Structure 1
C-alpha cells in the first residue's frame, strides 16, 4: 500500500509541476492576444505564484486539520477544473484570477505530496524529499515540451490548457482511487507557529535561501524561453526544449542527489551546486546557440539538488512539525517566485533581456555567498559541537 501512495505522490508532483510550467512557452501568445508588454506578461507569472504564496499561510493547517490524502485529491480536482476556467477567460483580469486559483491548488499539492512521503519514511528525509521533487523536474520538462509542441503545431494557448485539463482528469481519478494510510494529525496551530519558525535563528537563513533560490530558478526557467526566441533566434518550440532540458537534468540530478544524500552531508552538496548555477547563468548571454544548449544541461544538474537539500536541512535541524515546516518553506519559496520573476521582467522591459538574465545569475551568486556566511556556518558549528560532546 505504501508503494501505491508514493506512486500517487509522484504523480501529483509530476502534474503540479507540468501545470506550473505550461505558462512559459505560452507567454508570447498571451502577450499578443491581450496586447501586453514584457512587464505585464511577467504579471501572469506573479498571478500564479501569488496563489502559491497565499495558500502557503494555510496549507500546513489544512493538512494537519484534514486528511493529507483527501487534501491532495481535492487540490488535484480544483487544479483540473481551473485549467478549463483559464482556457475560456474572456479578459486579462479573469485570466489573472484563474492562474491565481491554479497556483493556490498546486501549492496544496506540493506540500501534501512531500508531507505524505516524509510521513511514511522511517528515516532519510532528504532521500524522500529529493525522490518526490525529482518528479517535479520531470513534470516541468513534460509541461514545457507539451505546451511548446502544441504551439508549434498551431494550437492556441487556450487549447493547450483544455488539452492539459483533459490529461489531468486521469490524474484526478487515480488520486481519488488511492487508499491513503491514516496519519497522526497534529494540532493545526496558529500564525504564531509561523512566527516561531521564522524567529528560530538556526533555520531562518535556510528559509531566506529558499526565497532567493526559488525566485531565481523560476526566473531563469520562465524568461529563458523569451530570451531564446527574441534575442537568439530560437523558435518557440526550440526555446521550450531549452527549458525542458533544464528540468530533464533537474530530474536526473535529483535522483542522483537522493542517493548521494545518504552518504554526503546536504550542506556539502549545496556548497558545490550553488556556484555552478551562478557561473552558468552568468555565461548564458555570452554564449552562441550551441553553447546555450550545453549550458542548460549543466544548469539543470546544478539546480537539481539545491531546493531538496535546503528543505531536508530544515526538516533535520528544525525539529518542528513536518507539514508546518514544509508549508513555511513553500511560503518563502513562492514569495521569491512572486517577486523576483516580476522584477526580472521589469529589468527586461526597461533595460534588455540579456541584462535580465545576468541579473538572475547575480542573484544565484548572492545566494551562494549568503549560504556560506549565514546558513552554512551555523550548521557546521552545530555538527562540531555535537562531535565534541
Structure 2
C-alpha cells in the first residue's frame, strides 16, 4: 500500500511547470489592457470595438472554466496550448484575428488556471491553503509583470517578437506538462473518487457569491484607485498610476506571507483577518486624508485582499472535493470583474463622486464577510465525503 506521502506527491513531474504556467497565464490574462492603446491606434478602433476584445476573452474564459471541472488534466495541458495559440494570434496585425485569438486564449486561461487550482486543491488536502496561496502568488507575479514587459516591448517596437516569445514559452509549458495525459502523475483511480457530489445548492450559492464579489471588488479597486488618487490626493496622472502597482504588489506580498501565517493561524482565522483588513483599508478612502494615509490604505486593502481568493477556494474544495460542477463557480466568479468596475463608473457618474462609488468594493467585502460567516455555520461534510486517506 502506498504511503500517504506517496499518494499525494507528483511522481513524474515537479511543481515547477505548473507554477511557470501560472506566471504565463497571469501575464496573458492582463495583457490586453497594456497593449490596447497601441493596437487601438494602429487599427483605428472605436471604443465599442476595443470593448469587444475584452468581451471575447471573457466569454472564452467562462467556457474554459466550465470544461476544467470535467477534464482537469486535459484542461491544464491543452489550456496552455490554447494560450500559446492565442498569443501567437495576437501577433497578427488584424482586428478580427485578435478577436478569435482572444476567445482561444480566454478558453486556455479559464481551463488551465481553474484546473491547476482544482488539482492542487484536491490532490494535497493537508496543504491545500498553502499551495493555493502559492498558485495565486505565481499568477499574480505574471499579472504584475505583464505591463512592465509590454511597456518595454512597445518602447522598443518589439511587441510582436514579445508575443511570439511568450507563445513559445507557454507552448513549452504545455509540452512539459503533457505526461499528465499518459497518467504519469499519482492521481487516484476512479474507484478512489467519492461518488457523492457534496456541492449542495447553499454551498454553490454562497461560494459563487464570495468569489464573484471578490474578483469584482479586487478589479474595481485596481481599476479605479489611480483615478481616485489623481482626483482626491492631488497626484499627477503619472504618479497616480503607480498606486495600481502598489495595490498589486501589496497583494503579492500578502500571498507571499500567507504560507508563513498559516503555520500559526487556521485557514478560517487568516481568511477572516484578511477580509477585515481589506475592509479597514477601504474606509480611509471615504474621507479627506493625506496622501501618505491614502497610500497606506491601499497597501492595507491589498494585503487584506491577498488571501481571500485562495483561502475561499481552499474552503470550497475542502467541502466539495472533486465535484464536477465546481467549474461553474469559477465561471461565475470571473464575471465579477466585468460587473463591479462598471457599476462603480455608473455610481460615480450618477452621484457625482468617485469617493461615493467606492461603496461598491466596500459593500462587496462586507458581503464576503457575511457569506463567509454563513458558510462557517453550514454543517461540515460527513467523514465519508472527504478524499480517502491512505
Note the residue ranges of structure 2 that are not aligned, 5 or more in a row. Answer: 1-9, 383-390
Task: Report how many residues are paired.
Answer: 361
**Contact kept? 2:36, 2:50, Cα under 8 Å:** yes
Task: Give the structure 1 partner of residue 273 of structure 2.
Answer: 272
Which residue number in structure 1 is paired with residue 372 of structure 2? 371
Query: After superposition, where does 1:309-348 map in structure 2 within 5 Å?
Result: 309-318=311-320, 320-321=321-322, 324=324, 326-347=326-347
Counterpart in 2 of 1:213? 214
Shift of 1:371: 2.8
Measure the CA separation in 2 of the matches of 1:71 and 1:249: 30
Residue correspondence of structure 1 range 81-160 to structure 2 within 5 A? 81-88=85-92, 90-91=94-95, 95-118=98-121, 120-121=123-124, 123-150=126-153, 153=155, 160=159
Q: 1:273, CA displacement in angstroms?
A: 1.4
Q: C-alpha distance in 2, partners of 1:281/1:24?
A: 25
User: For the Cα contact (< 8 Å) 2:228–2:354, is it kept in 1?
Assistant: yes
Superimposed CA distance per residue, residues 146-201 of structure 1 (whole angstroms, 9 cap, x where no aligned partner): 345556x375xxx64752441341232144134443334659x9xxx9xx666442
- Asked if 1:294 corresponds to 2:296, the answer is yes
Cα deviation per residue 1:303-355 (whole Å; 9 max; x = unaligned)? 1110111111112222x316x36523412321323433333344456655544
Go from structure 1 to structure 2 and tell me whether the alpha carbon gap of 1:239 and 1:6 turns closer, same or farther (over 3 Å shift): farther
Q: Contact 2:21 / 2:170 at 8 angstroms: preserved in 1? A: yes
CA contact (8 A) 1:15 1:139 kept: yes
Partner of 2:60: 51
Correspondence 1:167 to 2:166: yes
Contact 2:219–2:337, Cα closer than 8 Å, also in 1: yes
For the pair shown, which has the larger CA radius of gyration, 1 or 2?
2
Distance 1:247 1:338 in 2: 18
Partner of 1:77: 81
Change (3 A) 1:146 1:346: farther
Q: Which residue of 1 aligns with 2:27?
A: 18
Check conservation: 2:219, 2:341, Cα contact below 8 A: yes
Task: Output one character per residue of 1:342-372: Cα deviation in whole Å (capped at 9) or x when no partner.
Answer: 3334445665554444422332233223433
Larger helix proportion of the pair: 1
Q: Contact (CA 8 Å) 2:79, 2:109: kept in 1 or not? A: yes
For residue 8 of structure 1, report the CA deviation from its aligned partner.
0.9
User: 1:129–1:308: 8 Å Cα contact kept in structure 2?
Assistant: yes
Question: For the structure 1 residues 34 and 136, does the alpha-carbon distance in structure 2 shift closer, same or farther, using more than 3 Å as the test?
Answer: same
Mapped contact 2:64–2:109 kept (Cα < 8 A): no
Aligned equivalents of 1:288 and 1:100: distance in 2?
43
Q: Quick check: 1:280–1:298 contact (8 Å CA) kept in 2?
A: yes
**RMSD between superposed Cα atoms in Å:** 3.7
Give the TM-score, by structure 2 length.
Answer: 0.77
Shift in CA distance, 108/339, structure 1 to aligned 2, threshold 3 Å: same
- Displacement, 1:253? 1.6
- Higher relative contact order (Cα pairs below 8 Å, separated by 6+ residues): 1
| Mapped contact 1:215–1:338 kept (Cα < 8 A) | yes
TM-score normalised per structure 1: 0.77
Q: Is the 8 A contact 1:44 1:99 kept in 2?
A: yes
**Contact 1:282–1:362 under 8 Å retained in 2:** no
Q: C-alpha separation between the residues in 2 aligned to 1:131 and 1:352?
A: 37
